[in-house]
């Protein structure tokens, strides 16, 4: 007998979940609010797959550094002051989570998830059979200062202790690895397990692959209500640009045996209906893409002091950065764009400003949880609903493993990974949880 699952969100997490569920014999309907079916944060990002990034966003020292960055309008982090209880709750939890104990608990899990996901990318790319720019050259942590290099060397030692291949490169070794570009850095750390690809090419190929395999896509549409009764889940739909907050009585519905909430930054409202307090903030990230760059790296890189990234994406050079918490405001801040351009020229002194000024500018909302960990698991009130969101900057990296874990949970298979730290109800009050379980 066929089983039907509804996936809310056509980002990398939603599509990977749909792929894994299809492998297990499910019929699938994917609902995406974007009218073109493009979940923006999954299409325009840096395209880096990062087992090396096992330290969660909430870590010791981050709060103080973030406050200093707030004073710089071109800096890599900014919170727009506004009257928002949700933002205050998020900030409080972030401050409480930025501890050494939290890092010690979370780092092994993040590394495990990333390593599994990295292996799954080999399978995914082979299955797609299309060139998506997959490049397993590792990742460079480029440092302009000795202090920055010292910090990365210390992190590299921890990475080696956890089983990664991390090597410190001086300027000469770096030139040997990347002979075609001039860099103003004192050195770098290279992590061999990382890789990069063209995220837009991946998303196009994955969606086409799923559609050819019988997966149905409904775009320009939101899921505004979820009910579970009679052994099934019912999702109420409405056009994504409709006015109001409630769907009309005649709104179309979907009925399925399971539902995956993978709506990224837009998952909060549905989570509330499910009895969950998903403390997500839409972290706006920016990227500049140079079509015909005079300078570029063949290995993906992080510009350490600038908190930016640099990747070769389909022959184009993409430089991304910033974490801007300003709600769902789509406007681009000129100062932040200028900050990315200045940072790029510091690391790549021969990169002309004219090239950067002519670059295509993009921004996308990344779903950021306050403890730097995604929400992944079943909901207390609705066992047929699995939540998979809150991956922040690691959505692309963790997409395949998240998809597999979602499918295992829905299919009743043991996940094989301890997911307690990712509990979607971890920020929901005990009283609220008790009500949800009744």
Q: Does residue 128 surpass a pLDDT of 80?
A: yes
> Looking at the predicted structure, is the pLDDT value of residue 435 above 50?
no
258 and 330 together in one domain: no
Q: What is the rounded average pLDDT for all residues in the chain? A: 90
Residue 96 lies in a domain: no
Residue 280: pLDDT band with limits 50, 70, 90: very high
**For 179-188, 237-246, 286-295, which range has the lowest pLDDT when averaged over its residues?**
237-246
> Are 80 and 185 part of one and the same domain?
yes
179, 212: one domain: no
Within a domain: 197: no
Out of 159-163, 212-216, 257-261, 298-302, pick the least confident: 159-163
Q: Is residue 101 part of a domain?
A: no
Q: How many structural domains compose the chain?
A: 2
State mean pLDDT over 402-426: 97
The residues with which 264 forms a beta bridge, in sequence order, are: none
Segment 386-409 mean pLDDT = 97
Shared domain for 352 and 363, answered yes or no, is yes
In a shared domain, residues 286 and 357: yes
* Structure confidence at residue 65 as a pLDDT band (50, 70, 90): confident
Quote the percentage of the chain above a pLDDT of 90: 77
Q: Looking at the structure, do residues 146 and 218 belong to the same domain, yes or no?
A: no
- Mean of the pLDDT values across residues 311-318? 94
User: What digits encode the pLDDT tens for the residues 339-379?
Assistant: 999 999 999 999 999 999 999 999 999 999 999 999 999 99
Task: Place 208 in a pLDDT band, splitting at 50, 70 and 90.
Answer: very high
Domain end: 326, 343, 367, which one? 367
Q: What are the beta bridge partners of residue 237?
A: 223
Rounded CA gap, 419 and 389, in Å? Answer: 14
- Averaged pLDDT for residues 257-266: 96
> Which of the four pLDDT bands, split at 50, 70 and 90, describes residue 78?
confident
Please determine, for residue 311, whether its predicted confidence score (pLDDT) is greater than 90.
yes
Confidence bin at 205 (pLDDT 50/70/90): very high
Residue 209 in domain: yes
Domain region containing 330: 54-84+137-191+281-367
Report how far residue 70's alpha carbon sits from residue 339's, in angstroms, rounded to the nearest whole number.
13
**Is 93 within a domain?**
no
Rounded Cα–Cα distance for residues 146 and 155 (Å): 14
Q: Is the pLDDT of residue 268 over 80?
A: yes
Over 50: is that where the pLDDT of 380 sits? Answer: yes
| Helices 395-411 + 100-128 axis angle, to 10 | 80
Give me the mean pLDDT over the 256-263 stretch. 97
Residue 122 lies in a domain: no
pTM of the model as a whole = 0.93
Q: What is the pLDDT of residue 243?
A: 42
Do both 25 and 168 map to the same domain?
no
Angstrom distance (rounded) from CA 300 to CA 47: 9
Please classify residue 162 by burial: count the beta carbons closer than 10 Å to its beta carbon, then call 0-12 exposed, 13-18 middle and 19+ buried.
middle
143 in any annotated domain? yes
Q: Is residue 112 part of a domain?
A: no
28-44 pLDDT, tens digit each: 999 999 887 666 678 88
Is 187 in the same domain as 208? no
Share of the chain above pLDDT 70, in %: 93
Residues 354 and 289 in one domain: yes
CATH number of the domain where residue 165 is located: 3.30.9.10
CATH number at residue 415: 3.50.50.60
pLDDT bin (cut points 50, 70, 90) of residue 77 is confident
- pLDDT surpasses 90 at 64: no
Report residue 394's pLDDT band, with 50, 70 and 90 as the boundaries. very high
Lowest average pLDDT, out of 10-14, 82-86, 386-390, 395-399, goes to 82-86
> Stretch 393-399: mean pLDDT, rounded?
95
pLDDT at 112 over 70: yes
The pLDDT score that the predictor gives to residue 415 is 95
At 1, the pLDDT band (50, 70, 90 cuts) reads low
């Amino acid at each position: 007998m066929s089983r039907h699952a509804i996936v809310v969100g056509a980002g990398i997490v939603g599509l990977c979940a749909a792929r894994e569920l299809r492998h297990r014999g499910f019929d699938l309907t994917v609902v995406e609010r974007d009218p073109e079916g493009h979940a923006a944060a999954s299409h325009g990002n840096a395209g880096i797959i990062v087992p090396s990034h096992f330290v969660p966003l909430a870590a010791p020292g981050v709060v103080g550094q973030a406050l200093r960055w707030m004073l710089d309008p071109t800096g890599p982090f900014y919170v727009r002051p506004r009257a928002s209880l949700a933002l205050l709750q998020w900030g409080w939890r972030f401050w409480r989570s930025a501890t050494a104990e939290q890092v010690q608990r979370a780092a092994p899990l993040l590394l495990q998830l990333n390593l599994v996901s990295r292996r799954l990318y080999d399978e995914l790319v082979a299955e797609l059979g299309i060139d998506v720019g997959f490049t397993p050259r590792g990742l460079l942590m480029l440092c302009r200062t000795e202090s920055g290099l010292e910090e990365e060397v210390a992190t590299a030692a921890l990475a080696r202790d956890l089983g990664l291949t991390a090597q410190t490169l001086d300027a000469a070794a770096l030139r040997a690895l990347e002979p075609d570009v001039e860099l103003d850095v004192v050195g770098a750390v290279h992590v061999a397990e990382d890789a990069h690809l063209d995220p837009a090419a991946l998303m196009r190929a994955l969606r086409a692959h799923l559609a050819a395999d019988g997966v149905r896509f409904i775009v320009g549409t939101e899921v505004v209500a979820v009910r579970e009764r009679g052994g099934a889940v019912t999702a109420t739909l409405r056009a994504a640009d409709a006015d109001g907050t409630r769907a009309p009585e005649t709104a179309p519905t979907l009925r399925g045996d399971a539902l995956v909430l993978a709506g990224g930054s837009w998952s909060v409202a549905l989570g509330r209906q499910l009895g969950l307090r998903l403390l997500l903030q839409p972290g706006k990230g920016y990227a500049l893409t140079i079509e015909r760059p005079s300078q570029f790296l063949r290995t993906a890189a992080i510009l350490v002091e600038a908190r930016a990234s640099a990747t070769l994406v389909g022959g184009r050079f993409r430089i991304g950065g910033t974490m801007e918490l300003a709600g769902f405001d789509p406007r681009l801040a000129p100062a932040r764009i200028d900050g990315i351009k200045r940072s790029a020229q510091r690391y790549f002194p021969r990169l002309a400003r004219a090239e950067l000024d002519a670059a295509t500018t993009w921004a996308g909302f990344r779903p950021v949880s306050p403890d730097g960990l995604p929400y992944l698991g079943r909901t207390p009130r609705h066992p047929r609903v699995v939540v998979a969101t809150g991956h922040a900057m690691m959505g692309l990296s963790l997409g395949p493993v998240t998809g597999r874990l979602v499918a295992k949970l829905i299919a009743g298979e043991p996940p094989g990974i301890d997911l307690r730290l990712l509990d979607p109800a971890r920020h929901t009050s005990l009283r609220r949880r008790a009500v949800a379980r009744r």
